[in-house]
Amino acid sequence: MSTTIIDIREDQLSKLNYTSSIASKSEKRKNIRQKLQASLSRPVKTRQKMSFILETTRGFFRIESESLGLSQNYATVKGGHAIPLESILKVI
């Protein structure tokens, strides 16, 4: 798998097949949840876009979007797309 990170738009998320990252089983997953929770605790008007680095079966992708929700296993971004937390490598 290539280590190049490809930028994509929110409307392209539905075409991705996610994989479980090594980060999902470590302290990084806790850090990712904390960043998303901190973003969601801000008033809607003051939230900023975040960059999500995702691991998929086709490689690594970056999406810039607002985080709109967080469940036990998924982060929801603008457009209603749910991203499995275990496929998120990094949130910036």
The pLDDT, as a whole number, for residue 57 is 92
> Model confidence over 21-53: pLDDT tens digits?
665 566 788 889 999 999 999 998 898 899 999
Helix, strand, coil content of the chain in percent (nearest 5): 35, 40, 30
The pLDDT, as a whole number, for residue 4 is 94
- What pTM was estimated for this model as a whole? 0.87
Matching residue, tokens 């900023």: 48
Tell me the three state secondary structure of residue 26. coil
